Every structure is written in C-alpha cells, then in structure tokens.
Amino acid sequence: MTRRFCVRCGKRSERLINSLCVECYVEREVVLDLPSKIKAKVCRECNAVLKHGKWERRARSLEEAVEEAGFSAIEENLRVTGISQPEVGIAFLGAQRSSPKDFFARYRLEVKGSAGEEEVEFSREVKVNVRLTLCESCQRKASRYYEAVLQIRAHAPLTEKERRELSGFVRREVDARWSEDKAFISSYEEKKEGIDFYLGSAKLAKKIANLLLESYGGTVTTSTKLVGVDESGKSVLRYTFAYRLPRLRRGDVVRIEEKVCEVLKLSRGSVSLLDLATRKSFSLPEKRLSEAEILGRAEDAVKAMVTEVVKGRVQVLEFKDYKTFYFDTPLPLEVGQEVRILEAKGKVYLLATPLEE
C-alpha cells in the first residue's frame, strides 16, 4: 500500500493537492488579497455608509452602520486566488470603539472552493477600521444649505392646530425619505402669514408640496431664482414652492345650494361634504364651493355628550355652557357618547359623528 505524505510538513494524508496537505496548500498557495489596513467610513450624523464612492443610507443606528460599513469594505477589497469557484461567507463578530472617531470591527471569513478534485475550506479573522465622519449631505445641512423653500399659506391666519398638523405632516414626509440624498430641513421659520421650510432637495420640496395638495386640496405655485453658476457653467437655481390651503377647511360648516353641510375632506380639486339635514355625504369640485357661505369654522365647534336617545330624537349636553339641545336624527347614537355641535346664525348643528367622518 502506497503511503502519501505532505512534502512540506511530512504529515500523512489521503488528501494531497500538488503533493501538499490541505492545510499547507492553503497556507502556501491560497491568497486572500486584502489591504493590510481595511478602512471604511460612516456618517456620524445620519449613519450613511460610503460604498464605492457614494453615500448610502440604510442603517437606522450607528451600530448597524458600522457593521454594514465593514461588510462593504471587505466585499469591495477581497480577492481570492489559488482555488477555483471560491465562495466567501462573512460573519460579524463585534465592534469596539478605539477612539471618539473610530471603531474596530471584527469579521470571520469562511472560504470554500476547490483545488483540482479536492474541496478546500478554511476561515480567517480580519479587522476593519471604521472612521466616523460627515457625509456630503450632512456637511451641506451643517452649512444651512438649501435648494428650495416650501411655503405654507392660507386665506386666513393659520390656527395653532393647523400649524402643528401641517408642520408635522412636512416633518414626517422628510423623515420617511431619510435614505434619500439631501433629504433634510435646513431651517424652519414660523411667520405671521404661515410657515417656511428650507429644504436640502428641490425634488423633495416639490414632492411634499404635491402631497399637501393631495391631502388638503388648495393650490401650489412654483417660482425660481438664479443664484449662481456651478463649475461646469450650469445655472444654479433656487426654487420656491408656495402651497396655499383652500378657503374651506376640514370641519367647516358651509351653505351650498341651500344645503348646510360640513366639510369632511379636501383633496386635489375635490371636496367631500356631509349634508347635516339628511346626513348623506357627497362630493363636489372645489371650484363649485368658491362662493359657498361659511357659517362656522372647525375651531368654533364645541364638545357635547348624548344624554338621552328616544325614537330618533337625541338630547345632548354641551360642555362649555352646559346647555341642552335636541336633534332629530336617524343616527344610532348611545347615551354617554361624545359628539360635536356648532352654533351658527341662531341655529345649532350636530356635526359628523365618527361613523360619518
């Protein structure tokens, strides 16, 4: 029987590759081509990771970003020679802060491949230096850079509730696009006539203006201003998207075509209404309501509680002056249920209940 030995280490083995045992072959012939110092970058403000020269935002936390940056740096730099059809699995082992601006992240590489007719498997541990810095977008934000102003205006001064609602709407839409480039609010101004948002991206400002239009109705006008010329000679423009709320607002009570109605919803070019007499809802083009008489505003409504229900007739007690009112209505109201009422021109109206909104 022929005995087989590794010509390098003398170890007896039935699996030889070019007269070397698997261990010696891997040590001598297989090369994991990686830089002596593997480096990666993470934005300390938004957790963006630099990949192939471009910043990408996927990680929600710094820990996730550090792990992702290390993976990316290894994948970008790793080359395996000495085996055919190499497969490399990368396992994250943990990260440790080495300075206020640096992390050392550790990974295990599980390598598989073939050399001739033999299967080769081995593992290595590597470290990645992850440096905390500022991405291009956050550098711009820090310098109060902006491409567009989103103005929110109304026909009448905005109420505090409207300011909170509209400001929250804009901020949520910006936050929802956190992974996009220049998706930030550079600054914010509360003014007597409305609210101004200075946004890093003109594309984002236009998108949010259209979303406001879809959600609340109204109008949007766009204007531009030449602010300079870039290095390539291209004009640099600054945009203003002026969004104006419609004359009517959700919750207003209006008289239209001899009907007294509550505004339920406004969207682009359309208004949903509730006939407060028949309790039937319908929609009209926004233009049809341009001359509608406004009987009361949403903020004029007061809360009340149902105190009695008898065969289609309900009694309610309003909380402001503790007055009692009666309404004939087919609505399935229950004693103790909270409702809203509004008094306009000597008459009191029962506004939309949750079932009707």
17: confidence class by pLDDT, cuts 50, 70, 90: low
Mean residue pLDDT across the chain: 88
DSSP H or E run through 240: strand 235-244
What confidence score (pLDDT) does residue 289 get? 86
Q: What is the pLDDT of residue 170?
A: 96
pLDDT at 174 over 90: yes
Question: What is residue 8's predicted lDDT score, i.e. its pLDDT?
Answer: 64
Phi, then psi, of 352 in degrees rounded to 5: -60, 135
- The predicted pLDDT at position 235 comes to 85
Residue 280: CB partners within 8 Å, gap ≥ 6? Answer: 274
Give the percent of the chain with pLDDT over 70: 92
Nearest of 200, 224, 223, 219 to residue 209 by alpha carbon: 219
The 10s digit of each residue's pLDDT in 75-103 is: 988 887 777 777 888 999 999 999 999 99
β-strand pairing of 148-153 with 235-244: parallel
pLDDT digit string, tens, across residues 26-67: 666 665 778 889 999 999 999 999 999 899 988 889 999 999
The pLDDT score that the predictor gives to residue 31 is: 59
Domain boundaries, the chain: 36-135, 144-244, 253-350
Handedness of CA 224, 226, 232, 233 (dihedral sign): positive
The string of DSSP codes covering 133-181 is: E--HHHHHHHTT--SEEEEEE-SSPPPHHHHHHHHHHHHHHHHHTTTST
Give the per-residue pLDDT at 288: 87
Looking at residue 1, its pLDDT comes to 45
Look at residue 191 in the predicted model and tell me its pLDDT.
94
pLDDT confidence of residue 232: 81
For the cut 70, the answer to whether the pLDDT of residue 14 exceeds it is no
Stated pTM of the model: 0.68
Least confident of 31-45, 111-125, 130-144, 328-342: 111-125
More confident residue, 232 or 48: 48
pLDDT digits (tens, 9 = 90+) for 253-269: 999 988 999 999 988 88
Bridge partner list, 216: none
Residue range 176-216, pLDDT digits in tens = 998 888 999 999 999 999 999 999 999 999 999 999 998 88
